Amino acid sequence: MPDTSRHSPPLQARAKQTYEKLLDAAQTILAEGGFEALNSNAIARAAGVTPPAFYRYFTDKHAVMLVLCDRLMAAQNDLVAPSLAAANQRSATPREIIAALMHGHVAATRTFPAGLQIMVLMRALPELRSVRLHSHASVAAMVARNIAPLLPGVPPGDLAIRARVATDMFYSVIEMLFENGFTDEEAVMHHASIGIAAVLEGQAPDSQAIKAPPPQA
């Protein structure tokens, strides 16, 4: 099994520059050629450094992927937090909270170079399983924390389970949005948020919400 142990990020300015060049190169390769095109020599060549320089910072391409996964999750969280804050300020419903989370994740994935490829690889590669599970657990906790005040009668253990199931549904919808190229993202997120909110609330989806047109972007 590949060694996915992490090297600590460098501290010196010149080393930091090389480190970032390698990560940028890896993202470009992923975006243009996919994971099959990603290897240490290709990353080093695209970054303009020698292969030995690559190994001063990373053990292999899986170690690069771990850093990129961490950065994608951080970028998602940076965009999700303001969306949730805005939703909570207007006393949002569970469906609106899920929609805010979804909009934040879609925006972060779209703006992060090779964001979709990285997100899909977190599901596909056994070496990244721990990263994916940590990511999903973090989002599930965020969902449960924001939904709990709206569902005071639900035991915390039950809410945690619902939030975890909802989170897997949530990520599946985001992947579907990008991979299928839907032209009406708002409609997809609208209907998905209804179904996910129903899981959290432990009841059938609101028929009126299903019939209502999705909000305009």
pLDDT digits (tens, 9 = 90+) for 123-168: 889 989 888 888 888 888 888 888 888 899 999 999 999 999 999 9
Tell which residue, 120, 169, 108, 113, has the closest CA to residue 140.
169
Q: What percent of the chain has pLDDT over 90?
A: 42
Residue pointed to by tokens 């053990």: 59
- Mean local confidence (pLDDT), 104-133: 89
Mean pLDDT of the chain: 86
pLDDT grade, residue 215 (50/70/90)?
A: low
Q: Domains of the chain: which residue ranges?
A: 13-61, 69-211
* 63 Cβ contact list (under 8 Å, min separation 6): 3, 4, 5, 6, 7
* The overall pTM is greater than 0.85: no
State which amino acid sits at residue 3.
D
> Is the predicted pLDDT of residue 88 greater than 90, yes or no?
no
> CATH 3.40.50.1820: does it fit domain 13-61?
no
3 state DSSP class of 116: helix
